[in-house]
Structure 1
Amino acid sequence: MGEGPEKLREIRRVLRQNPKGLSISDISRKVGLNRNSVAKYLEMLLISGQAEMRTYGAAKVYTASQRLPISALLEYSSDLIVVLDGEGRILQINTPFVTFSGQNREDLLGTDLATSGLPVVTTPMVLSGLDDDLTGEVVVPEVAWGDERIFRAKILPTAFEEGGSGTTIILEDLTEMKKAWKMRTFLANIVESTEDAIIGKDLDGKIVSWNEGAERLYGYMRDEMIGRTLDPLVPPENAAEMDTIQDEVEAGRGIDRLETVRVRKDGSRVDVAISVSPVRDEGGRVVGASTIARDITAQKHFEEEQRRHAEETAVLSKTAMGFVEMEDDDEVFGYIGRQVGKLLPGSTVVVSSYDRDLHAFRIEAVVGPDGEGGPGGELVGTHFPMTVREREKARTRLYEEVEIADHPAAALPGASNGGCMYAPLVCHETFLGDVVVLREGREGKEKGALIEGFMRQAAVALHRRHARLALDRSRQRARTLLNASPDLVVLIDPGGAVLDLNEQAGRIFGQAGKERAVTLHAALDKMREEVLNVGRTARGEVQACGKTFEVSMTPVRAADGRVHEIAVFLREGGAEPERPARARQDPRVSGRAH
């Protein structure tokens, strides 16, 4: 490598280290070159835009350039650009042009354009523009290259900073734009047959085309709208929207989908989705816009239903988990009141249980507008009889405007404002309680379906609570009966694992020791397999804990008919184990011994 590039880099380094500037003599001393050599290198840096010179009287001060060289600026453009000197030789060429040409940059620089073999710019149409004495921009609208690529060529006279002049050629690829134009031309042929409203307007916003779809959607006939603006269709609150659309169109950009509201001729409003595309002439200039509008009323309604359904599902899923995780059975009533209060803010909620034996309600919780115990909390524990009103309501649903004059909550605030919301809690035709909602206003009706869903959850939770309590009582009675039995009773699962046993069995087998317990299980396995295979009671006899037991093993079936448990009854019986014989003595001998 020659020393020229090395000296240039050294001079650039010295200039960057001295931002206030240096004279030729200063630079000469720092890099160890004579003044003439330094002056030559500085001239090269000035021409390439890498250095700047300022004059102070007779002195010249050089600094590192803060500007990008033209070669760097060219790389920011996606167009194909080539810069020629005054003799028509290639001075600069950007990377997109090099890539498109498939040639080597170093081979192109300094060569004559006409003999360079560069695509597009060496066609007769472009070269003819170079023959003229350029005084301004020359545009070649379309230059085809091959069968697929189309360019617009711009030829500009160029003056260089260091002096002299040249030419810059810019190639703008129109291929995709031309394809889009052809597609728009094709689509224009089917505009009148589409269901969508398609409207064309110029850059002044005046309507130039109005199809039958627009007539159906907006109610205005074609003759009523041609030459007018879209202002009659736009609600006052959306006026700024039109300015935004106009700005985008004038900038040559489109709007893919904008969901908004428009006004029909009869004054009614309609939800629409509009798409706006700039319309260009053959020269690529934006001359107007095309708007396609589609009625999305049904879609918006569906989306709102989906949103509400998702919201309700999330709420019900959360509240269902709340019921499942609730440890205190009595807390369910307070939970019901708080959740209804969240769904209907500002309400007082009264929750009651129903006692079937007494045929009466009992107020379990009163939740105020703040989510805490509300006014009338002293009513908790109050009993009141079931009336005809409640008896007629056979399922859980939400009733509006219900009079509650016979309810203890009738004296609370909000109870006398035109009726209350009322929901009986009914599950499997069993009346479990009710909920009374006292509201100051009438808002909240749109949440009726969600509230009813929650009420059904609450009724199921209460029904399960009743069933659980009944099951606990049943199990307690069963255990009492088992413990009263003289037999030993053991409950096992189909695999033979012990699930439960009564007190008698617990006393005997609890003292049997591990080895005897294993032996007992082994003895019962054969009978257990017989019960599972045959599906009926098996009987036998086992030896355990030094005793003989008569065994009765009975399958316990669930509602699905499968054997979920096996009850084992052991009764002590059979012959006593043989004891060692003792020698008998003659009484007379015994007597003589005395």
Structure 2
Amino acid sequence: MCYRYLLHTNETFICYTNLIKEQVNGCRPEMELFKEEFIRIKEILKQSPQGMSVTEIARALNKNKHSVGHYLGILLVSGHVQMRNYGKAKVFSLSSRVPLDAMFGYTDDMILVLDQNERVVRINDPFLAIIQQARTEIIGNLFSSLKCGGTAGEEIIERIRESLKTGILDQEIEIKKPALRFYRQKILPAVFDDGKQGMIIVLEDITLKKSAEQALRSSEEKFRLMAENLQDGLIIYENGKITYANSRIEEIFGYTRQELSLFTPSDLAAPDERERVKKIIEECFVSRNIPSDIRFWILRKDGSRRYIYNRITSIEHENSILRYIVITDITEWKHAQDALEDHLGFLQHMIDTFPSPIFYQDTNERFLGCNRSFSKLTGKSFADIAGKTSGEIFDPDTARILSSHDDELVKKPGMLTYTGDINLPGRSKRTITIQKSTFSTKDGAMAGIVGLILPDKEH
């Protein structure tokens, strides 16, 4: 058994069924009267699966267009042909036929077929299982008189009855007992080969799909809740476009999220930073090597400057490239850092004015700094000694003298003075006096040793 069926909107479905009621019954005598013409039209259309216009069919039949249009109207209403519009032209082709046995045998969906009087014509095993009835008790009976052996089946049958009354073709059904399940109900208008109308009711179990959608919505809600409460700004780029930005972004930049979508990172950079940021972005496009972080000054909408720290993570997902950018406003830290560097610069300038060589080391005897006099005496610049021990820089004798007594001071912080001979670059040995003292952190812990060198004759 085969059925022709089409999907329609509610309004179209009601109009379609009314048309069937009014015209199909009236066309049945004509179906017999023009049976030979109908057979010839279907044979012609079979040879042209792409479809033919009324004019083309009339020419092939050697009939006038008016008669052929009348024949096609009857075939269209009876479901034997289908029509589509191409501009002003109407193109006809054979209707698609769906083998019902194939639908019944290769799907887990529940399927019920009703005739024009809403009597049950066919029903598959999944539908029988839900209503807990034998097929012999169902076939040929009115749908309105169906009885079910289970709560779920009763609720499903009642919802279908409501749909038949209201003309709702496509809807979701929620069944709460005995267990919560969701179904997608579709009612498809059908026309049998004899021209009689009917309908196919399909119920798809979408419980797993609904559960997955609910889990996804819950996950998205948790993500948004987390993202909107971050102290940092968060932007997600997908294939070069902003797909998400949290509210903190607006606070940092002073622009709305919609306004920010119109800017590039270099547009938001302060004028003195713009070229640097633009160059970094251009290099990223060329090398495909995205930096893990970048810091620069921005110019807010109100004209104020802020210093931001951007951490970038790139992820390839299916055919897309996702970039997560976490943005932290570190303006206060930047001001503090600049102030500290200014202070250190002042201290360096101050010790550089001392005529005697000065150096300072951490508790592991690694050099933290020195003044110009020390560099002049040893022939080593600050860059040469920074982070290194005496043994890594000087000859063994000089290294031994410079690091002498350091263990004692680490064990017992304070001050001591001693004399020793060092090898000076380009000169012979020279006897010097070294005065060492310890310095501490703000909480009193020992931080390192400061050394002051005086020539022996000045001691």
TM-score by length of 1: 0.26
TM-score by length of 2: 0.32
